[in-house]
Amino acid sequence: MSVKLSIALCTYNGEQYLPELLESLLSQTRQPDELVICDDQSSDATQDIIEAFKKRCHFLIKWHRNESRLNSTLNFANAISLCNGQYIALCDQDDVWLPTKLEALTNALDNNPQAGFVISDALVVGQQLQPFGYTLWESLNFTSSEQQQFLIGNAFAKLLKRYRATGATMVFRASYRNLILPIPPSWVHDAWIAQLLSAVSNVELITEPQILYRQHSSQQIGQVKRNLYQQYRIAKTIGKEQFQTLAQNFQLALDRLSSITDYEIQPQDLKRLETKISHAQKRTDMRDSSFRLPLIMHELAAGNYSRYSLGWKSVLQDLFL
């Protein structure tokens, strides 16, 4: 018997790009068993587009309109909770899926029972789907050597340093839903899912891009390549509050992983998580100190900047910004 597959799609005023996304779902070589759509109080033609799509679609569509605005993370948590499939594919309203996406990602899970989730690369494109000339993983500097670290079981440690798993490229096993849900609203949903699943399972990678990852001005989170000056401008905006939130978020992850009994978690991963929290808190404390250098030197000597931040870029950020 084939494994049932659900797509969890969140919508909010998506009329501009939603039709192209839906057409790409129809073109999949491996069709889903259901499409669960949670709408976050759209005021445009999103619902009309969905109703018209229902008449042409042969798989089950479940439409849910939130009673009040939930925003992205809680809306995805809601959609995930309503899925009945054994595999769940996360879906954004503004991308275009290449025809082999679901087949490639579900085959990867079929072939590796130890993998809790799978992610693929993506082609980064503009508003009109014009290629930017690089992939998502290239923009994230997700190198082949780091990919190998994911595949040999070090994904949890690598994700503590930097975000790598984009929800629009992800399929995961619904059997882990009790670990994932509820998702704290302060987290981005896909970062939370990847961090927790990497603590209790393996990950599979599909290096061939499987979606067109659209970049446009109204999206919540995007991924474009930035030069050093652009990176500097962004780093300048990150202050005490952001580091405090980072520490608090990873404390929530530690609390969740420490409280579960259904899965085996390596003690060294919990220790890494504790050190990540401590490192983020020290970077918070630096913002109130006139003598940052001793704190910076301590974290540098301990290797925490290389393990849990962006190395020398973060050292310079803490010294001068």
β-sheet bridge partners, residue 38: 10, 64
In the chain, pLDDT over 90 holds for what percent of residues?
A: 89
Q: Among the ranges 134-148, 207-221, 288-302, which has the highest mean pLDDT value?
A: 134-148
* pLDDT tens profile 49-104: 999 999 999 999 999 999 999 999 999 999 999 999 999 999 999 999 999 999 99
Of the pLDDT bands very low, low, confident and very high (cuts 50, 70, 90), residue 291 is: confident
User: What value does the mean pLDDT of the chain take?
Assistant: 93
26-54 pLDDT, tens digit per residue, is 999 999 999 999 999 999 999 999 999 99
pLDDT given at position 2 = 82
Q: Where are the alpha helices (DSSP H) in 38-130?
A: 46-54, 71-82, 101-111
Query: In the structure, what pLDDT confidence band is assigned to residue 290 with cuts at 50, 70 and 90?
Result: confident
Alpha-carbon distances of 241 from 192, 246, 301, rounded to whole Å: 20, 9, 25
Query: DSSP 3-state assignment of 139?
Result: helix
For domain 5-214, the CATH superfamily is Spore Coat Polysaccharide Biosynthesis Protein SpsA; Chain A (3.90.550.10)
State yes or no: pLDDT of 138 exceeds 90.
Answer: yes
What are the backbone dihedrals phi and psi of residue 318, each rounded to the nearest 5 degrees, phi first? -70, -30
Place of tokens 């970049």: 215
Tokens 């992939």, residue located: 135
- What is the pLDDT, as a whole number, of residue 226? 60
Residues of the chain with CATH 3.90.550.10: 5-214
Query: What does the pLDDT read at residue 232?
Result: 46
* C-alpha torsion angle, residues 250, 231, 164, 267 (rounded to 10): -30
**Predicted local confidence at residue 67, as pLDDT:** 96
219-258 pLDDT, tens digit per residue, is: 555 556 666 545 445 555 667 899 999 999 999 999 999 9
Averaged pLDDT for residues 4-22: 98
Q: Which of 185, 200, 184, 135 is nearest to 164 (CA)?
A: 135
